[in-house]
Each structure stands twice: as C-alpha cells, then as structure tokens.
Amino acid sequence: MNRPDLPENPPPARRDPDGGFTLHGRRFDDPYVWMEQTDDAETAAWTAAQEAVTRAVLDGVPGRAGLRAAVARAARCTRPSPPVPAGPDGRTFLQRAGADAEKPVLVMRRSADAPLETVLDPGTWPASDVLVCAVPSPDGTLVAFGRARGGSHGAVVRVLDVETGALLPDRLRGTDHGSVAWRPDSSGFFYTACPEPGEAPPGEEAYWHAVYEHRIGSGAPARRVFGDDHDKDRWCTVETSECGRFAVLTSWDFVNANDVTLLRLADGALLPVATGMRSVNQVQVIGDSVLVRTDLDAPRGRLCVAPVSNPASWRTLVPEGPDTLQTVTGVGGRLYAVHARAASHRVSVHALDGTRLRELVLPSLGSVNRNEGAGVVSGISGSWHGDDVWVAFTSFVQPPSLYRYDYARDRLEPYHVPDAGLDPSAYTTRQVWYESADGTPVSMFIVHGVDVPRDGRRPVRLSGYGGFNISVEPRFSAAGAAWLQLGGVLAHANVRGGGEYGRAWHEAAVGTRRQNAFDDYVAAARHLVADGWTTPAGIASRGNSNGGLLVTVAALQAPDAFGAVYSRVPLLDMLRFPAFGHLDSATVEYGSPDDPVEGAYLAGYSPYHNVRPDRPYPVMAFAPALNDRNAPPHDPLKMVALLQSGAPRGGPYLLVPLRDSGHGGGTTLSALVEQDVDELSFFCWALGIPASPV
C-alpha cells in the first residue's frame, strides 16, 4: 500500500525528558504528561495546530460533499420513541426528532386523535446543550428533565409545568443528576446523583453515587434514600414499579454485578431482592410477584420469580438455555423474553407461570434490545395491564424502527419505519465463524451489497468492542450505510469480552485475559483476507471507547493486518487510567496498575507504552472528545505525539479533536454527521478509494 502524504508536516510536541514514573520497580517514561492539562495554553495550541493539518487532509478529500450527502440522508430521518401514557383522557408523551431536527423534541398528545403539541424543545437551547432524559409525572402535569452541556454527562434536572411551560423553582441537590422515577401520586420523584461539592473528600467528587428523593415544592433538602456508605465506586439507578408500591433500587459494581433492593413506598422499608451476589440482575414487580432475570448460577441467564412478601426467595421460572437471555419484560399480561442467539435477537412470549407460548417473528436478522449505562435495556415496552406491546427493532441496513405487536393476530405491525435512503433488500447480512489464536471459534457479521463480488479487492470497515459485557449486535449507523453505498463491506467481530454469549464470554477477556480480545480481533482481520474479501491494505479498522483501545492494541501488535485505523474516544494509557474521573471503578474490568501481576500485564499491552520505532504501523487517526467524562481526552493527544516522534516507519498519524462533544458524540445531529463524514473521509484518503457513493 502506498502511504498517503500529508499536505504539511504536523507540529512536533515538546518532549519532557523528566516526565515519567516508577511502578513495581520499573521506570516508565511519560514525555507528554504535560498534555494531560488539556486547557493549558501550550496543549491547546498544539492541539489546534494538529487539527489544522487534519482538516487540510479531510476537507480536501475529493467527493467529501457526496459523503456528507449520503451520511445526512441516512441520519436525517424522523425518529419517534414509544408513546408513554401519563395523565387523564389518554394523554401520552414521546420524544420525536424530525428529519431536519438537530435534537429530539418532547411532544404530547392530549388524546388519541389530538395533534402533537411541543412540550420541551431543546432546539431553542445553545447548540452545546443536550436533553438527557424527560420523564412525565403520572398525572401528566409535570416533566422532570435532565439537561447537560457538551455531552450526556453532568446533567442537571429541572421540573417543567406542562400547561404553562414554566420551570418550577425546585432545585435538586447533588451533581450529575440522572435516573428519574416519579412517585405514583406525582408528589415527587427519586433520582440519582453524586454528592454536593464539599460533601465528598477531595478527589472523590465523582463518586459516592446515591438515590435521593425530591418532593415538589419543598424547600427542604432532598432526602438520601439509598447508596453504599463503604464503596465509593458503586453507582445507582432507580425506577418505580407500575403498580406504584415500590421503587426498584439498583447498586452497580461497575457493569460486572449489581445489587437490587425494593423500597416500599408506603413505609420506606427496604426489601433485599438480590444482594451480595456476583451477578447481573434485572427486577420487575408484577402484582404480588417479583420477576428476576439473573445470570447467577446461569452464565447465559435464567428467569426467576419470588413473592413480594419475601422477594429474596427465588425459584426458577424459565431455566437457562442455549441462547443468552438478556431481558424479560411483562407487557399486556404476558412475559416477553429477548434472547441473543449468535449475537442477534429472538423474542419469545411466555405466560406468567413461565410457559412458552410462541416466538415473535422479527422483520429480519437484527436487534431489539440496546446497551446503555444501566446495562441492557429491553426494546419491548408497554404496561402490564395495557393492550399496546411496543417492539423496537434495527439491523445493519434498517434504521431504528418501532412496531406494535398484535398478540391476537400474532402480527408485528409497523408503527414507524424510517426511510434512510437504503434499500434493505439490496444488501446481505451473513454470519461467519473463524478460529482465534487459541483455537476458540469466534463469530463475525459481514454485510455487503448483493452484487458485490468477493474478489479480494473490497474495502472492508471492520469494527469490534470486546469489553464490559457489551455485545456487538446488528445496529444501523449512518456511517455504515454510507460505507455500503461506497461499495464497501461492513464486518463486525463478536470478540471475547463482550456479552454476546453470556457471562463466560465476557469473563474470557477480563483482567489478565484481555489478550484474548486482541487475538480475536486480529484473527477477524486475517479471516477476511483468507476468505477472499480483501487484502490487509484494504481493511479500515475502527473502534469506539473500549473498542478504540481494542483497535489500537491490535494495530500495534499486528501492524501488517490493517490498512488504516480510526480510534475514537479510547483509553490508551493503561497505567494511569484510574487517576481519571471515576475510572478506578474500571479496574474490575481491566485490572489494577497497582497490583504487581495485573500492572505488569497492563504494561504489556498499554498502547502508550508499546510504541516501537522499528514497526511500520498503519495510517492511524485518533479522535478524542474534548468534553469526555468517560475516557481521558488527553490520551489520544499523548499517543499521537508519541507516534509522530517515535514511530517514523509508519503512519501518518492524525489527531481529530471532537469539540463540543462528550463520550457519545456531538450534541447536535449536524455535529454527529460531520464526525461520521470525517471518519469516512479519513478511510477513503488512507486506503486510496473513491469517496463517491455508487
């Protein structure tokens, strides 16, 4: 592959010869530690100068305007949420984003046939502000909503009067509000937050997450109702049961395990449901029963039930099976279980006693559930006593869609299927299996046009994640749609560390087993070549967050396997990550640098500590979100500086700063579109392929 030329040399970074530290008797140089002060004038100036070089490259890609049009066509489609009933006379609320909307708008229907009314329009806010959540009160008169700046973290919850549009004077205590759940009489709500400034020891302001209760109109401080007084790393979520008798309180040990407790609203009693277990549990109260989906003693998940009078006395209702049980949701008097079968979803319907009634036929191979901060969230919604069963669905070639399931006719009826300018019938999704370095079979999705030949010359956009029990399942993206329209192939590897095949698959790449994920990913790239799709020079490797770490390590360990690498919001310094924000909680996933064994293992693959001057690394771009609260935005800066000075045989290496962006991306749809266009422009430039959709 002929390496592309830069229009000008990127500016060198000052190297501090004294930067570094000693860990377990070994010296580690850190010549760019000064960049960790991202607001410092020197860091800001270097970042801006690097950005100017990057912009000259990406903005100059021929056909970039066509890429933008393709991405925008796929991204700008109407996107409604399922309607949420609240209040009298059939009043419902939903979030809706029109094709031209920069942000979703909260709207309301006063009755089934009434027109939509705007309740809250974040489009009137500054571009950097984001609507994180909007939860109507049960009587439909108020909305508690979270507003954040520069990303989805750091939200502040306020209360809006639906009829007048006025903000109530109520002020919540704590910082980084989230997870709002109303009392059934609309007198107040529960929410989660970190402590007020000064209430936590210095350096621990982002910890000690807890559940608070706010009473509407009360000038009294919010009451802390639940939290861990001994483990600062735990974080909480809260929701109220449909019956209105309980609040379901969950305390998370990062993403590896959680405890669930019921708060009885009548008297404030705390009733343990699942505590002191190394398992992930999801709880729903239905009548006098407590449903518990758990992976305790069942790595692929099972469904248990207990009486509300003794919610810790479980018995198995639906036993563990060959597929991974992700969620169970009680809607319309029946239980809807979503299983992952070979990393795509199946939905089965059960009676309350666990009896299997039928399987719901989905539109195609795709996904129903989604991953969020509180683990896997069911794509099945509705009320236990209601008639409407809402089913969310997406695939690699179908944007997020909403269906209503008619149980009597056993039919999934389209409610809203967006037009993203991509004909699903023109593309094929197949799943293949390949062997990793240790012989473990690993699955991978391959998506391509039905007429695309397997001629060894296809550009392939390969991605993976490999961590935190998060699964790589069929999901639509505007960038993926545009890549397919370029005639490219999409490949998504289900590497170990994810949750595709249950707890054991996740734990196979935790801590000192992390190398399994890297080996799986490199093997995916080599399989694509051996299977006749492409050459190593034609593989565009991309990863986000933990996936950014994955693709960077893979490129450093096997530089001959990839043509170009795009690493977005990654962790890259695995010896200093616990010092950033709340990331010391992530030691349960990665291991701790302070542990002699785990520290040595982390040092063995930490990208920032494993750059070798003799290796011809592929062309690489690193995209930090400058408002990131989940991953250190300075890691990509340090990495680019190190590669530019210490790995002259490879590259070029670009820095793509994401401004006014948090970990999840830009705050407006236009910003998200431009970020996708930048990524695709980079791949077209790096691989030397036309940027014009076919």
Q: Checking phi first, is residue 73 left (phi over 0); if not, alpha (psi -120 to 50) or beta?
A: alpha
Strand order in the sheet with 156-161: 129-136, 142-149, 156-161
Confidence (pLDDT) at 375? 79
Q: State how far the Cα of 110 lies from the Cα of 196, in Å rounded to an integer.
A: 38
Q: Is residue 1 over pLDDT 80?
A: no
Distance CA 551, CA 536 (A): 14
Q: Are strands 79-80 and 84-85 parallel, antiparallel or unpaired?
A: unpaired
Residues 52-61: what's their mean pLDDT? 97
- Tell me the C-alpha distance between 236 and 632, whole Å: 23
Residue type, 100: D
| Sign of the C-alpha dihedral computed for residues 474, 480, 482 and 485 taken in this order | negative
Q: What is the mean pLDDT of the chain?
A: 95
Which candidate, 307, 276, 312, 281, places its Cα nearest to that of 294? 281
Residues 6+ apart with CB under 8 A from 691: 61, 62, 63, 64, 66, 67, 486, 680, 681, 684
Is 252 within 8 Å of 234 (Cβ atoms)? yes
462, 524 in Cβ contact below 8 A? yes
pLDDT at 221: 76
Mean pLDDT over residues 467-482, rounded?
Answer: 96
Residue 634 has φ and ψ, to the nearest 5°, of -80, -20
Residue 100 has pLDDT above 90, yes or no: no
| Residue closest to 211 by CA, chosen among 229, 232, 199, 193 | 193
Which two three-digit tokens encode residue 589?
A: 């996933």
Query: For residues 191 and 665, which has the higher predicted lDDT (pLDDT)?
Result: 191
Question: For residue range 222-271, what is the model confidence (pLDDT) as tens digits?
Answer: 899 999 999 999 999 999 999 999 999 999 988 889 999 999 999 999 99
Say whether 458 sits in a helix, a strand or coil.
coil
Could you tell me if 391 and 402 are in contact, meaning their C-beta atoms sit under 8 angstroms apart?
yes
Residue carrying structure tokens 């890429």: 67
Coil, strand or helix at 213:
strand
User: Which pLDDT score is estimated for 40?
Assistant: 97
Whether 265 and 244 have beta carbons less than 8 Å apart is answered as yes
Per-residue pLDDT at 694: 66
Does residue 73 have a pLDDT over 70? yes
Q: Give CA–CA dist 156/175, Å, rounded.
A: 7
Which of 206-227 are b and which e, b meaning 16 or more Cβ less than 10 Å from the residue's Cβ?
bbbbbbbbbebeeeeebeebbb
Average pLDDT on 79-100 reads 90
Q: Can you give the pLDDT at residue 349?
A: 98
Mean pLDDT of 154-179: 94
Q: Taking 80 as the threshold, does the pLDDT of residue 693 lie above it? A: no
CA distances from 595 to 24, 570, 588 (A): 9, 23, 12
CA neighbor of 560 nearest in space, from 641, 488, 618: 618
Residue-wise pLDDT tens digits, 623-632: 999 999 899 9
The string of pLDDT tens digits covering residues 557-612 is: 999 999 999 999 999 999 999 999 878 889 999 999 999 999 999 999 999 999 99
Q: What whole-number percentage of the chain has pLDDT above 70?
A: 99
Percent with pLDDT over 90 in the chain = 90
Q: Which residues contact 558 (CB under 8 A, 6 or more apart)?
A: 522, 525
pLDDT score, position 145:
97
Asked if residues 377 and 370 have their Cβ atoms less than 8 Å apart, the reply is yes
Angstrom CA distances, 633 to 13, 58, 637, stand at 17, 21, 7
Q: What is the spatial distance between Cα 366 and Cα 346, in angstroms, rounded to a whole number?
A: 9
Beta bridge partners of 144: 135, 159
The residues that bridge with 441 in the sheet, in sequence order, are 435
> 560 in helix, strand or coil?
helix
pLDDT at 374: 64
Number of neighbours of residue 450 by Cβ within 10 angstroms: 8
How many Å from the N-terminal Cα to the C-terminal Cα in the chain?
Answer: 23
Candidates 472, 369, 481; CA nearest to 424 is 481
Mode of pairing for the β-strands spanning 370-372 and 356-360: unpaired
342-382 residue pLDDT tens? 999 999 999 999 999 999 999 999 999 998 766 799 999 99
Q: Which two tokens stand for residue 229?
A: 């007084």
Backbone angles phi, psi at 417, to 5 degrees: -115, 105
